[in-house]
C-alpha cells in the first residue's frame, strides 16, 4: 500500500478538522430528521395513507418537533435498573454511530477557504476495518441497555442483538474481502479510486448482495428487527427507555442506517463517483458535485430499507440465525474462494479473462444441473410422502386413535355398530329441529 | 360492620374487616408460585406477557416460562375486559339485551345479535314467522361481518408478525364493510340491528347498490392483501408448522371455527345445523389439512371469498317485504324514519299514537317501557361465527327480562388451545399461534 495516496490526510489545519467534524455531525443529524420523515411518507404512500404533512412544508419539520417532544418527556428509570450502565448505554450507541462516519468520503479534493482538502474527515490504510470495529462497539450500547434495564423484554432483546450483530458482522466482513482483493486496499478513498471504470457492485455482484442483506441485519431493521420486535418483545432493548435516552437510540438507529448505506455506496457503487450517463460529463467528478451523487446513492439504499419494511413480515429468531450462518456466511466463503482462485489464475498463471469466464460458465452449469437433480430427488420424496398419506386413509377409521374420540374426516367412515343404527332411528323418529338434538329446550323451571 | 384502618400511612388504602358472611380473598392468582423459581434453577425466565402488550389482541395476559427463547409453559390469564354484560342483561328487557350482546365479541356484532335473537325467538316459538326478507338481511349482514372480522384477524395477525402493510390493507378493506353497516343500521359497530322478530330497520335506498359495488371492490382488494402474504417465504417460515393442533386436540379442547377446519374437518354450523335459511344458499366449506397457523390463514381467506359469494346470493334473493314479525305484541312498535332532525319515529306513527288511537299509544308505551314477555323455558341456538360455534343459552321464567343469558363464545373456548399450540416452541411462535386463534377478548371476558 503506497503511503503517497494518503498525502492529503493528516495535513489539514486544526480549524479544518473541526469544521469537517462539525459539518459531518450536522449533516448526520439533519439526515436523520430527514430520513425519519422520508420513511414515514414513503411507507404511508405504500399503504394508501398520506403520512405527516402538517408541520412545516410537506411535514418536513415533523421529526424535529417529535424530537423536541421526546426531549421534554418525563424520564422514567426502572427501580431495578443498573443506573450507571443504564445511563452509559445510549451514549455508547449514539457516539459509535457518529464515529463511524469519520472515514466515509463524500467527494474529491476541493478547496475550502483556500486550503486544498478531500471531502472526508480522515482516512487510513484500514479504514473499512475501523467502520466494522466501531459498529461492534455500537452493539455494546444495545447489549448493555438490555442487560441494565432489569426487565425481561430488554434482556431478551439485548441477547438477540448480541447474537444477531456478531453473526451478521461476520457475513458483512466476509463480503468486504472480495472488494479488498480487487481494490488492493482497505482505505475508503483508495477503494473508490479503484472503481473508476466499473463499480464493484457489477463485478462482485454476490459480495454486493451479501453485504446489502447483512447490512439490514446489522442495523436491526425490518425484516431483521428482532432485537426490538415490537410484536414479541414490545420494544426489545429500549423498552424501558424514555425521553432523551430513547431519542439517542432512535438517533443511533437512523445514523447507522445512513452509515451502512454510505459504506455500501463507497464499497460497491463507486462512492461519490458520478453514475454512468452523468459520468460522461467532464466535470462530473470534480468540485462539489460529487456530494450530490453520493447523497443520491445513499438515498437509494435508504429507500430500499423503507421498501423492505413496508413489504416483509419479520423473521423468526432461529430462522434469521440459520439464514446468516448457513446461507450468507458459506456463500460468502465460497465466493471469496472463487474470486481468489480466479485472481491467482489470472495473475500467476496468465490465464486470460475469457478463459476464466468459460471456466465460470462450466462451474455454473454444473451447479445448475446439480440443483436440478436435487430438485428431482426432493420431488420424489414428496411423492412418497403423498402416497404414504393416501395409504393411511385406506386404514379403517379409528375414532380413538389419538386418545380422544374424533369424528370421521371426509372419506372416512365410522365402523359399523348396531347401536348407532338404533340411535339414528330413534333420533329420526323424534321431530326435533336439528340444532336441538343435544340441548334441553322448552323446560319450564318456574312455570 | 366495617372498620377503617389508617395505621399503615395511606388513608385511602384502609382495610375492611367483615364480621359476617363468607370472606373471599382475591389474590393475584398463582403468579407468586410461578415467579418463584425452584432452588438451583436459574435458567428459567418468567415473562408476564400482557395484558398491556402490542400482540395480545387487546388484554390477553400470557404467563410464559422461557428457557432461552423456548417456551416451556404457557398460561393464559383472562378477565381484564370483563364488563358484566351477561349480568346486566338480567335487568333489561329482551329487546334491550341486543344492545348488550352486540358489545361482546366486538369484531362480530351481527353474530352476537343473531345468536341471541335466534334463542329468544325459539323461546317465543316464532321461528317460522320471521319474514323472509329479514332472514336474508340477517344472512347478508352476518356474511359481511364475517369478512370484516376475518380481515381484522389477517390485519392484526400480520402486524404481530411484522407485516405492517398487510395490517393497513386489512383495516382499509374492513372500513368498506363498516361503511355498509353504518349506512344500513346507523352504526359502524355495536349496531343492535338484528332484533327478536326481525331486524331494526329496512335497507335504505341505495344500500343494495352499494353492497353490490363493495363486494366487487372487496374481491379485487382481497387479492392484493393475499398476494402480500400467500406463498411469501418469510410469512410461511413464521406460520407453517406453527401452532400445530390436530383434530384430536381440537376435539379434546372444544375448538371450533377456522382452527378446526384447518385440520381438514369440514365442520360448519351453517351446513350441519342451518339457521336463518342457510340451507338455501350455495357455498362451500373451505378446509386445510395442515393443522397450523398458515392453514388457518389460508382458510380465512377462502372463507372470505365464500362469504362474498353468499352476499351475492342474498342480494339476488332480496324481495320487498316486511322486515319484522307481523305479531304486534313482539314487533318493536316504532316506525323509524329519517327526518330533518335525524333518525326517529316517523311522523305518521306519531300522528297515529298521539291523536288517533289511544290503544296504539298504550301498546307503544307498554312495549317500549316494559317489553314483551317470553314464555318460561330455555333455549340454545348455536351459529357459526367467524371464530367458531357461538351460542346464547337463554333462560326465561316467563317475564319481560331474561332470567339468565349465557354466551358460549368461541374465543373463550379456543383460547384453551394456547398452551397446546405454543409449549415447546419459540416465543415468536406464541404470537403467531395466538394470532391464528384470533381471540377477541371482548367475547372471552364479556
Please report whether residue A446 resides in a domain: no
Please report whether residue A438 resides in a domain: no
**Considering chain A, what percentage of its residues have pLDDT values greater than 70?**
91
Q: How far apart are CA A119 and CA A196, in angstroms?
A: 18
| Same domain? A292 vs A399 | no
Q: Are A139 and A220 in contact (CB under 8 A)?
A: no
| Coil/strand/helix, residue B337 | strand
| Same domain? A268 vs A362 | no
Q: Which of A354-368, A426-440, B10-24 has the lowest mean pLDDT?
A: A426-440
Residue carrying C-alpha cell 456478531: A166
| pLDDT tens string A154-189 | 888 888 888 888 888 888 888 888 888 888 888 888
Grid coordinates representing A404 are 380422544
Residues 6+ apart with CB under 8 A from B321: B131, B132, B133
Find which of B164, B287, B373 to mutate to test the A interface (most A CBs within 10 Å of its CB): B164
Q: Find the radius of gyration of the CA atoms of chain B.
A: 24
Sign of the dihedral through C-alpha A257, A130, A229, A82: negative
Which pLDDT does position B215 carry in this prediction? 93
Q: Are B320 and B202 in contact (CB under 8 A)?
A: no
Whether A17 shows a pLDDT value over 70: the answer reads: yes
**Chain B residue whose CA is closest to A235:** B54
| Same domain? A248 vs A336 | yes
Grid coordinates representing A257 are 442506517
Find which of B50, B53, B118, B165 to mutate to test the A interface (most A CBs within 10 Å of its CB): B165
| Same domain? A147 vs A195 | yes
Residue B50 gets the label, from left (phi > 0), alpha (psi -120 to 50) or beta, of: left
Q: Which of A395-399, A431-435, B325-329, B426-430 has the lowest mean pLDDT?
A: A431-435
Please report whether residue A304 resides in a domain: yes
| Coil/strand/helix, residue A91 | helix
Whether A436 shows a pLDDT value over 50: the answer reads: no
For chains A and B, CB pairs below 8 A equal: 144
Please report whether residue A427 resides in a domain: no
pLDDT range class, residue A435, cuts 50, 70, 90? very low
- C-alpha distances (whole Å) from A419 to each of A182, A422, A432, B3 are 83, 5, 20, 65
Environment class of A297 (CB within 10 Å of its CB; exposed 0-12, middle 13-18, buried 19+): buried
| Same domain? A12 vs A109 | yes
| Same domain? A245 vs A312 | yes
Whether A441 shows a pLDDT value over 50: the answer reads: no
Whether A127 shows a pLDDT value over 50: the answer reads: yes
Please report whether residue A431 resides in a domain: no
Q: How far apart are CA A200 and CA A192, in angstroms?
A: 9
Please report whether residue A445 resides in a domain: no
Q: What are A116's strand-pairing partners? A: A111
Domain count of the fold of chain A: 2
| Same domain? A170 vs A40 | yes
- Enclosing H/E stretch for B383: strand B377-385
| Same domain? A175 vs A40 | yes
Task: Tell me whether residues B165 and A46 touch, CB distance under 8 A.
Answer: yes
Q: Are A319 and A55 in contact (CB under 8 A)?
A: no
| pLDDT tens string A319-357 | 888 888 888 888 889 888 888 888 888 777 777 777 778
Which pLDDT does position B75 carry in this prediction? 84
Grid coordinates representing B294 are 398458515
Q: How far apart are CA A399 and CA B82, in angstroms?
A: 38
Q: How far apart are CA B239 and CA B188, in angstroms?
A: 32
| pLDDT tens string A242-296 | 888 888 888 888 888 888 888 888 888 887 777 777 777 777 777 778 888 888 8
Nearest to B159 among A43, A231, A316 (CB): A231
Q: Are A241 and A145 in contact (CB under 8 A)?
A: yes
Task: Tell me whether residues B165 and A47 touch, CB distance under 8 A.
Answer: yes
Long-range contacts made by residues A410-417, C-beta under 8 angstroms, separation at least 24? Answer: A410/B264, A410/B266
Average pLDDT over residues A144-155: 85
Rounded to 10 degrees, what is the CA torsion of A216, A222, A223, A226?
Answer: 90
| Same domain? A19 vs A144 | yes
| Boundary residue ending a domain (A305, A331, A349) | A349
CA angle B212, B217, B223 (to 5 degrees): 135
Strands across the sheet containing B70-77: B44-49, B61-67, B70-77
Q: How far apart are CA B165 and CA B171, in angstroms?
A: 10
Residue B14: how many other CB atoms lie within 10 Å = 13
| Chain A residues close to B428, C-beta within 8 Å | 229, 231-232, 314, 316-317
Whether A440 shows a pLDDT value over 50: the answer reads: no
| Boundary residue ending a domain (A349, A374, A402) | A349
Q: Are A34 and A64 in contact (CB under 8 A)?
A: no
Nearest to A319 among B53, B228, B237 (CB): B237
Grid coordinates representing B252 are 379434546
Mean pLDDT by 10 residues, chain B (446 residues): 48 57 64 62 74 76 84 85 90 90 90 93 90 92 93 88 84 91 87 88 88 92 84 86 89 91 90 89 89 91 92 90 85 72 78 84 85 90 92 91 92 90 88 89 88
Q: How far apart are CA B296 and CA B221, in angstroms?
A: 20
First-to-last alpha carbon distance for chain A, in angstroms, is: 103
Environment class of B54 (CB within 10 Å of its CB; exposed 0-12, middle 13-18, buried 19+): middle
| Same domain? A293 vs A405 | no
| Same domain? A373 vs A344 | no
Q: How far apart are CA B300 and CA A98, in angstroms?
A: 48
Please report whether residue A429 resides in a domain: no
| Chain B residues close to A315, C-beta within 8 Å | 234, 237-238
| Same domain? A204 vs A244 | yes
Q: What is the pTM of this model?
A: 0.83
Q: Are A86 and A137 in contact (CB under 8 A)?
A: no
Q: Structural domain of residue A365, as residue ranges?
A: 352-422
Please report whether residue A434 resides in a domain: no
Grid coordinates representing A319 are 430462522
| Boundary residue ending a domain (A285, A319, A349) | A349
Residue A397 main-chain phi, psi, to 5 deg = -70, 130
Which pLDDT does position B63 carry in this prediction? 84
- C-alpha distances (whole Å) from B79 to each of B29, B41, B64, B152 are 12, 31, 18, 22
Whether A2 shows a pLDDT value over 50: the answer reads: no
DSSP track, B69-102: TEEEEEEEE--TT---HHHHHTTS-TTHHHHHHT
Q: How far apart are CA B55 and CA B62, in angstroms?
A: 11
Which pLDDT does position B341 carry in this prediction? 74
| Chain B residues close to A409, C-beta within 8 Å | 247, 264-265
Amino acid at each position: 500500500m503506497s503511503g503517497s495516496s494518503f498525502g492529503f490526510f493528516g495535513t489539514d489545519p486544526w480549524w479544518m478538522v473541526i469544521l469537517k467534524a462539525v459539518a459531518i455531525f450536522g449533516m448526520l443529524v439533519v439526515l436523520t430528521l430527514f430520513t425519519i420523515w422520508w420513511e414515514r411518507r414513503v411507507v404511508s404512500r405504500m399503504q394508501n395513507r398520506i403520512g405527516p404533512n402538517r408541520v412545516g412544508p410537506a411535514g418536513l419539520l415533523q421529526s424535529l418537533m417529535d424530537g423536541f417532544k421526546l426531549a421534554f418527556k418525563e424520564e422514567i428509570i426502572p427501580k431495578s435498573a443498573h443506573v450507571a450502565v443504564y445511563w452509559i448505554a445510549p451514549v455508547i450507541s449514539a457516539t459509535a454511530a457518529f464515529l463511524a462516519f469519520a472515514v466515509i468520503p463524500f467527494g474529491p479534493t476541493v478547496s475550502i477557504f483556500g486550503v486544498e482538502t478531500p471531502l472526508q474527515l480522515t482516512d487510513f490504510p484500514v479504514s473499512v476495518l475501523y467502520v466494522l470495529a466501531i459498529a461492534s462497539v455500537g452493539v455494546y450500547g444495545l447489549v448493555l441497555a438490555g442487560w441494565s434495564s432489569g426487565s425481561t423484554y430488554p434482556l431478551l432483546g439485548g441477547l438477540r442483538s448480541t447474537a444477531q450483530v456478531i453473526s451478521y458482522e461476520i457475513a458483512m466482513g466476509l463480503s468486504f474481502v472480495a472488494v479488498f482483493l480487487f481494490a488492493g486496499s482497505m482505505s475508503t478513498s483508495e477503494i473508490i479510486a479503484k472503481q473508476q471504470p466499473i463499480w464493484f457492485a457489477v463485478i462482485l455482484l454476490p459480495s454486493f448482495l451479501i453485504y446489502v442483506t447483512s447490512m439490514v441485519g446489522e442495523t436491526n431493521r425490518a425484516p431483521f428487527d428482532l432485537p426490538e420486535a415490537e410484536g414479541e418483545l414490545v420494544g426489545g432493548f429500549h423498552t424501558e427507555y424514555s425521553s432523551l435516552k430513547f431519542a439517542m437510540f432512535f438517533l443511533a438507529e437512523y445514523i447507522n442506517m445512513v452509515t451502512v448505506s454510505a459504506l455500501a455506496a463507497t464499497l460497491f457503487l463507486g462512492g461519490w463517483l458520478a453514475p454512468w450517463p452523468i459520468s460522461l460529463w467532464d466535470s462530473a467528478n470534480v468540485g462539489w458535485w460529487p456530494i450530490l451523487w453520493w447523497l443520491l446513492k445513499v438515498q437509494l439504499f435508504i429507500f430500499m430499507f423503507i421498501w423492505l419494511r413496508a413489504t416483509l413480515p419479520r423473521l423468526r429468531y432461529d430462522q434469521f440465525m440459520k439464514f446468516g450462518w448457513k446461507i450468507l456466511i458459506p456463500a460468502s466463503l465460497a465466493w471469496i474462494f472463487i474470486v481468489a482462485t480466479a485472481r491467482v489464475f489470472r495473475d500467476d498463471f496468465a490465464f486470460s479473462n475469457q478463459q476464466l469466464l468459460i471456466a465460470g460458465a462450466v462451474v455454473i452449469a454444473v451447479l445448475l444441473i446439480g440443483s436440478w437433480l436435487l430438485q428431482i430427488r426432493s420431488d420424489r420424496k414428496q411423492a412418497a410422502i403423498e402416497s404414504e398419506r393416501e395409504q393411511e386413509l385406506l386404514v379403517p377409521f379409528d375414532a380413538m386413535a389419538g386418545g380422544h374420540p374424533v369424528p370421521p374426516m371426509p372419506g372416512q367412515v365410522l365402523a359399523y355398530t348396531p347401536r348407532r343404527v338404533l340411535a339414528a332411528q330413534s333420533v329420526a323418529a323424534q321431530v326435533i329441529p336439528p340444532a336441538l338434538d343435544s340441548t334441553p329446550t322448552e323446560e319450564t323451571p318456574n312455570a | 360492620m366495617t372498620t377503617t384502618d389508617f395505621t399503615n400511612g395511606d388513608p385511602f388504602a384502609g382495610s375492611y374487616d367483615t364480621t359476617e358472611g363468607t370472606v373471599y380473598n382475591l389474590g393475584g392468582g398463582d403468579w407468586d408460585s410461578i415467579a418463584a423459581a425452584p432452588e438451583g434453577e436459574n435458567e428459567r425466565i418468567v415473562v408476564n406477557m400482557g395484558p398491556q402488550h402490542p400482540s395480545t389482541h387487546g388484554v390477553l395476559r400470557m404467563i410464559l416460562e422461557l428457557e432461552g427463547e423456548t417456551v416451556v409453559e404457557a398460561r393464559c390469564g383472562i378477565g381484564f375486559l370483563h364488563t358484566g354484560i351477561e349480568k346486566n342483561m338480567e335487568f333489561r328487557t329482551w329487546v334491550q339485551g341486543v344492545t348488550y350482546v352486540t358489545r361482546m365479541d366486538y369484531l362480530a356484532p351481527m353474530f352476537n345479535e343473531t345468536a341471541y335473537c335466534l334463542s329468544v325467538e325459539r323461546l317465543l316459538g316464532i321461528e317460522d314467522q320471521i319474514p323472509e326478507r329479514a332472514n336474508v338481511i340477517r344472512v347478508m349482514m352476518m356474511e359481511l361481518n364475517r369478512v370484516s372480522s376475518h380481515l381484522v384477524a389477517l390485519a392484526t395477525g400480520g402486524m404481530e408478525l411484522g407485516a405492517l402493510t398487510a395490517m393497513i390493507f386489512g383495516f382499509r378493506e374492513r372500513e368498506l364493510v363498516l361503511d355498509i353497516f353504518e349506512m344500513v343500521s346507523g352504526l359502524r359497530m355495536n349496531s343492535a340491528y338484528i332484533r327478536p322478530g326481525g331486524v331494526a330497520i329496512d335497507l335504505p335506498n341505495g344500500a343494495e347498490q352499494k353492497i353490490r359495488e363493495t363486494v366487487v371492490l372487496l374481491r379485487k382488494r382481497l387479492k392484493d392483501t393475499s398476494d402480500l402474504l400467500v406463498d411469501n417465504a418469510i410469512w410461511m417460515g413464521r406460520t407453517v408448522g406453527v401452532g400445530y393442533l390436530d383434530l384430536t386436540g381440537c376435539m379434546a379442547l372444544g375448538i371450533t371455527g377456522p382452527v378446526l377446519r384447518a385440520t381438514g374437518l369440514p365442520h360448519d354450523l351453517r351446513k350441519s345445523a342451518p339457521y336463518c335459511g342457510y340451507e338455501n344458499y350455495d357455498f362451500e366449506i373451505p378446509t386445510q389439512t395442515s393443522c397450523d397457523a398458515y392453514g388457518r390463514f389460508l382458510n380465512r381467506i377462502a372463507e372470505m371469498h365464500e362469504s362474498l359469494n353468499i352476499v351475492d346470493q342474498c342480494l339476488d334473493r332480496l324481495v320487498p317485504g316486511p322486515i319484522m314479525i307481523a305479531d304486534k305484541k313482539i314487533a318493536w312498535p316504532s316506525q323509524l324514519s329519517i327526518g330533518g332532525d335525524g333518525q326517529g319515529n316517523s311522523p305518521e306513527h306519531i300522528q297515529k299514537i298521539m291523536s288517533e288511537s289511544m290503544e296504539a299509544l298504550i301498546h307503544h308505551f307498554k312495549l317500549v317501557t316494559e317489553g314483551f314477555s317470553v314464555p318460561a323455558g330455555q333455549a340454545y341456538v348455536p351459529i357459526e361465527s367467524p371464530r367458531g360455534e357461538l351460542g346464547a343459552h337463554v333462560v326465561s321464567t316467563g317475564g319481560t327480562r331474561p332470567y339468565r343469558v349465557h354466551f358460549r363464545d368461541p374465543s373463550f373456548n379456543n383460547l384453551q388451545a394456547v398452551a397446546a399450540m405454543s409449549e415447546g416452541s419459540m416465543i415468536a411462535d406464541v404470537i403467531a399461534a395466538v394470532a391464528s386463534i384470533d381471540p377477541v377478548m371482548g367475547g372471552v371476558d364479556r
